[in-house]
Chain A
Amino acid sequence: MNWPVYHIFKREMQRLARQKSARNLYLIIPVIVFILLGLIYYKGALREVPIAVYDNDNSTLSRAYIKSLEASPSLNVTYYIASKDKLENVFVSNNVEGIFYIPKDFHNDVLKSIPTQIKIYTNSTNIVFGNLLYKSAQEVTQLLSAGVVVKNIAPLGINPDKIRGTVMPIAINTKVLANPQYNYVYYLLPGLATVLIQMILFFAASRAFNNEWKQDTYTDLFTTANGSVVTMLLGKYLAHLVFGLSLCGFLFAIVFPIFSIPIYGDIGSLLVLMLLFLTVNIALGFGISLLFKDEIIALDVAIFYNSPAFVFSGFTFPIWAMPWFNRWYAEVIPYTHFLTGFLKIYQLNTPFRFIIPELQKLSIFLCIAVIIIIIGLIINRKHIFLQPKMSTI
């Protein structure tokens, strides 16, 4: 064992444990935020979205339609609109997300083969509700419509075996991979938590060296490392890695089970990906820390670079739909590439070889981090490579 590395590692572990900032970053923030995010989405999937119905027909068929709406697990009829209600206020005054309007003569028109339209208004200020209502409204209406068609074609003479093929010729067998439950906890919590891990590590690492200068402890660090920058970097890296891995352990071994989030993929592959991801962020943070002697500037850079990582990652809005500059920016954030690899393993359970492209891209980030570290070492060489006299003080 290279003992100076161990000494630096031990020193850094103790330094981080003593620092209020590191305690906030590595302990308090993740515990509060991860649990909070899980609690927000703890129900997983949306069920029984409140809707209002205006039955202007009040017929057997309209009531059958309303019963179908009530039977849908996604919908819950909470309000029946009366003629005095102002339609434009119903959303807000009755806390509903959708309005189903059944027209007058609905039943008669169906009997007379006059196409009739059920008007559905969705409150699409929140597209989560908008999309769910669209899907449910289509399903319920198409089912009823198909039922009417079946009743109409039966008396005309048709082979019973052909009814289904005539009414719905193409049957779509949908197989949903990666989160077939459409569960929002499974979807959002892992993504948000991992982006926070990136930010935490980056922020903490971006103060690894400049904080030593600020606290006047750099000479001690230099002496402990026997004047070797590589030893300093390695020792500090291992300490931050331990904290980073602890965060991952907390996420995967505690938070995931609490919220019943499954990991479909291979843990070994996940570990390799996480290790490289953590390493890249620590190294980039170190680079910033060596480049900017003022830790506040370093932190500013870290915040500015990392804050948009989730938005740019393509997780909730695809990268290909962004303008070219944003697409480019997305590419220069390691989280974007980590996320792709992470989703491949964690949700799609892909074999290891499929995350090699992401590992390669993260390795490029590691090389860039090394270059930034070297530039930082050159720029601040006077503060880093202390003269023998200085180092012995």
Chain B
Amino acid sequence: MNLKLIWQLLKKEATQIYNDHSILLALLAAPLLYFALMGSTYFNKDEENVSVGIVDLDNSHSSRAFLNKINATQKVDITHTYLDLNEAKNGLYRFDVQGLIHIPSGFENKLKAHESTPIGLILNNSKFLSSNDINKSVNLVAMDYAVESRENFFKSKEINPSLAAKKAQPIIAQIHAVYNPANNYGNFLLPALFILILHQTLLIGLSESVALDRKNNLIPFIFNDAPLSFLNYFFGKTGFYFLLYAAYTILTFFVIFPIFDLPLNNSMFTLITVSFLFFIATIFYGWFISSFFKSQARAMEVMAFTSYPVFLITGITWSFKDMPLVIQFMSNLIPLKPYFSFLKKETIMGVESNLYSNEIVHLLLLLLLGYVAVLLRFYYLKKQLLNRNVEVA
């Protein structure tokens, strides 16, 4: 390896980035802007006060008390009162409310007579989060009524109040949402989202630069410049990206995670080291893919469209084992997959190191795969250039 040559190439790359506003924007402005813009979207982490409409045809003390209890829950806010179901349906259609509670007449009488009292709950399930929250809140309040009713029954049979309370709810499900105690959306999505932002901006910036080199015949020029070995070229070309994203990694885990109150449960050294491996693998992949483009704009366009697929294919929002085998196979070829799994286990769950060693081995294998792919591609381009030069001569 020729360190002087690597340093020259590194400086050349830095100058190219500095002079190209688009690459500069992708590498320096976009990560920070997206951190702020997209990260802050989930700053509150969870929703509260989902708007709900009511149709209270009973309009009794009991129905109002029931609705007040629902309104007192953190997640639900009764914002609209409708006179009938038709009017309510229109409110739902206008998206004024996400759900409707319909209390039929006779609610209070049935409740007092200890008869089963049906109420209607209509949910707009076009957005799962709000629909789930309304459903959960209404059911919890109904459960409170059930416990109270059972307790009153036992008391009426001259069982002492303390025992009556115990008999009313003999088995309780005590549910603990581990690793995300509030079971909120922010803690679930933000760690992966921050990594995705870094991953995508790196891919876009690098692909633009490599495509620009190919367009301007700079890769052949570099070959001609000196008899470079592959490693000299690669370290020189991508060293700047690695250093920049190493800095972003440190920023992410030391500044961004604490700002958003995200868990960092295990060894920071392991986390940073594996993150560096991940970014090296991403650089290999990025260089390999972008070496097929000769247009900066085309490289940008294609990379911009990979964001959603590469994020979703990792199974971060879905059950990985429930995806088709071919998709699982493809996912396993992407460095984000083992890295997300590692991040979850090491940083969020804080499990013992032997439980995430498979992910590190997986990442190393992908790094090797990326290296081989880049090496072969590099020598292919070199051979192509030499052949062209022979033809010209």
Contacts and interface: CB of A to CB of B under 8 A. Distances in A.
Interface of A: 20-21, 24-25, 29, 32-33, 36-37, 39-43, 46, 49, 88-89, 91-93, 110, 113-131, 133-135, 137-138, 140-142, 144-146, 148-149, 152-153, 156-158, 161-162, 164-180, 182, 184, 187, 192, 196, 199-200, 203, 207, 295-297, 299-300, 303-304, 307-308, 310-312, 314-318, 320-323, 325-326, 329, 340, 343-344, 347-348, 350-351, 354, 357
A323 B175 contact: no
A48 B47 CA distance: 28
Given A168-B146, A170-B142, 4 more contacts: A91-B349, A118-B172, A162-B114, A304-B30
B123 A141 contact: no
A297 B44 CA distance: 33
A295 to B, nearest CB: 6
22 contacts: A32-B309, A88-B351, A91-B351, A121-B178, A124-B180, A127-B184, A130-B177, A134-B183, A138-B139, A141-B173, A153-B154, A157-B157, A158-B153, A165-B113, A177-B125, A184-B318, A199-B304, A303-B300, A304-B30, A314-B127, A317-B129, A321-B48
Given A158-B153, A299-B297, A316-B129, A173 B121 contact: yes
A55 to B, nearest CB: 14
B322 A116 contact: no
Nearest to A168: B146
Interface stretch (B130-138, B237-245, B383-391): B130-138
B257 to A, nearest CB: 15
B318 A128 contact: yes
Contacts of A321: 44, 46-48
A297 to B, nearest CB: 7
Contacts of B227: none
A169 B188 contact: no
A124 B177 CA distance: 5
B264 interface: no
Given A20-B298, A40-B313, A326 B37 contact: yes
A172 B305 contact: no
B58 to A, nearest CB: 12
B47 A317 contact: yes
B185 A127 contact: yes
B121 A174 contact: yes
A113 B47 CA distance: 38
Contact of A175 (B34, B123, B163, B300): B123
Interface stretch (B91-99, B266-274, B282-290, B365-373): B91-99
A344 B154 CA distance: 48
B308 A196 contact: yes
B295 interface: yes
A41 B47 CA distance: 25
A118 B172 CA distance: 6
Contacts, number: 345
Contacts of A174: 121-123, 135
A316 B179 CA distance: 21
B164 to A, nearest CB: 9
Interface in B211-253: none
B43 interface: yes
A148 B173 contact: no
Nearest to A346: B126
B167 A149 contact: yes
A125 B34 contact: no
Given A141-B171, A169-B146, A176-B123, A322 B180 contact: no
Contacts of A165: 110, 113-117, 149
Interface string B67-104: 00000000000000000000000101111000000000
Question: Size band of the B side of the interface?
Answer: 35 or more
Given A141-B173, A344-B93, A171 B185 contact: no
B41 A311 contact: yes
A161 B113 CA distance: 11
A136 to B, nearest CB: 10
B61 interface: no
Contacts of B298: 20-21, 24
B143 A142 contact: yes
B28 interface: no
Interface in B12-34: 21-22, 25-26, 30, 33-34
Given A114-B166, A318-B47, A121 B176 contact: yes
Contacts of B280: none
A153 B146 CA distance: 14
Contacts of A20: 295, 298
Nearest to A330: B41
Contacts of B300: 296, 299-300, 303
A344 B174 CA distance: 38
B324 to A, nearest CB: 5
A103 B51 CA distance: 39
A160 B123 CA distance: 32
Given A21-B297, A167-B146, A321-B46, A307 B128 contact: no
Contacts of A343: 95, 126-127
A111 to B, nearest CB: 9
A318 to B, nearest CB: 5
B345 interface: yes
A310 B41 CA distance: 12
Contact of B308 (A33, A126, A171, A322): A33
Contacts of A325: 40
Given A167-B146, A344-B95, A124 B188 contact: yes
B189 to A, nearest CB: 8
A116 B171 contact: yes
Contact of B305 (A33, A170, A300): A33
